[in-house]
Amino acid sequence: MSDIAIARVGRRRAKYRPVTEDSPLARYALIATAVLFLALFLLAPLAIVFLDAFSKGIEPFLAAFHDPDALAAIRLTLLVAALAVPANLAFGLAASWSIAKFSFPGKSVLITLIDLPFSVSPVVAGLVYVLVFGGQGLFGPWLAEHGVRIIFAVPGIVLATIFVTFPFVARELIPLMQEQGKVEEEAALTLGASGFRTFLTVTLPNIKWGLLYGVLLCNARAMGEFGAVSVVSGHIRGLTDTIPLQVEILYNEYNNVAAFALAVLLAGLALITLGLKTLLEWRHADELSGRARRH
């Protein structure tokens, strides 16, 4: 009897599972944990945002977008993103270009610096600008004398946003460009193309999907940033409040429907970004990873 039992156990064990595969139990437990976690901490809150926004019907939801302060917040958010994203696009291209194609002393320091905004709290990022440009700060008195407003005005908000969205484009492009090397550019240059033309016709087509991906992430964060912007905003209604700040204000004024209506707008922007990102990954996975070359 025990022989049979041993044989059965042995057979079962030997059955199908290669040693490199986890037991089904572990697999299901892991998947369930991940899905449950996502549902609990991501999907449920998102659903509540949508439910609360429409809790009193569609009319109050739409009315939230007629409020001049809300419209001003939307305009400001778009303006800030429209300034911060191109700035970081230019910076990201320059940084990844120099890191991938040249070698120079301090290269690793530059790479570390690019990652700094990821590790620094956004509140600190905001405070740094207050310390530099604020009335008691380094350049504050000089700026005040010349009537230049940076902190508690749009320029400060743009600066803070640029700071927190610094790494997105560069981080996306550096590995891509490093993998692609500089052979093609050298070929173009030896064939007599100008530097700018080489960039437009050789480099750019090679990195365009990765670039777009970085810009999308950068834009999503630029529109959604709260902490750093909150510190430098001054919270002047209708003037220096971005959408995330306006959401907080409305919530604090017990105006839940309007607060969640704007939150839905932000969530909608995030979902569109996510959709575009998924589409990019699906259609251009090879070029994003830099494994394959065009031509």
Partner 1 sequence: MLNEGRFEKRVGVGIVVGLLTLALLASAHSQAGQTFLNVSYDPTRELYKSINPAFAADWKAKTGETIEILASHGGSGAQARAVIEGLDADVVTLALAADIDAIANKSGKIPVDWQKRRPNNSSPYTSTIVFLVRKGNPKAVKDWDDLAKPGVAVITPNPKTSGGARWNYLAAWGYGLKKFGGDEAKTKDFVRAIYRNAPVLDTGARGSTITFAQRGIGDVLLAWENEAFLAIKEFGADKFEIVTPPQSILAEPPVAVVDANADAKGNRQLAEAYLDFLYSPPAQAIIARNFYRPVHPEYAAKEDVKKFAKIDFITVDKTFGGWAVAQKKHFADGGVFDDIQKQELTR
Residues that bind partner 1 (CB under 8 A): 72, 75-76, 78-79, 82-83, 86, 130, 133-137, 140, 144, 149, 151-152, 154, 197, 200-201, 234-239, 249, 252-254
In Å, what is the CA distance from 101 to each residue of 92, 167, 200?
14, 18, 16
CB of 74 to partner 1, least distance (A): 11
* Residue closer to partner 1, measured from CB, 126 or 290: 126
CB of 254 to partner 1, least distance (A): 5
Structure tokens at 12: 């079962």
* Residue closer to partner 1, measured from CB, 3 or 145: 145
Q: Please name which of 178, 249, 217, 209 lies closest in space to residue 81, comparing C-alpha atoms.
A: 217
Q: Which helix (H) or strand (E) holds 161?
A: helix 154-165
Q: Decide: helix, strand or coil at residue 105.
A: coil
- Contact (CB, 8 A) for 235 and 241: yes
CB of 261 to partner 1, least distance (A): 18
* Residue closer to partner 1, measured from CB, 45 or 86: 86
* Residue closer to partner 1, measured from CB, 53 or 72: 72
What gap in Å lies between CA 189 and CA 261, rounded to an integer?
53
* Residue closer to partner 1, measured from CB, 111 or 239: 239
Look up residue 191 and give its amino acid: L
What gap in Å lies between CA 66 and CA 251, rounded to an integer?
17
Residue for token pair 């700018």: 196
Q: Which long-range contacts (CB under 8 A, 24 or more apart) does 97-102 make?
A: 97/177, 97/203, 99/174, 99/177, 99/178, 100/173, 100/174, 100/177, 100/178, 100/180, 100/182, 101/177, 101/182, 101/185
CB of 23 to partner 1, least distance (A): 43
CB of 131 to partner 1, least distance (A): 9
* Residue closer to partner 1, measured from CB, 165 or 171: 165
CB of 14 to partner 1, least distance (A): 57
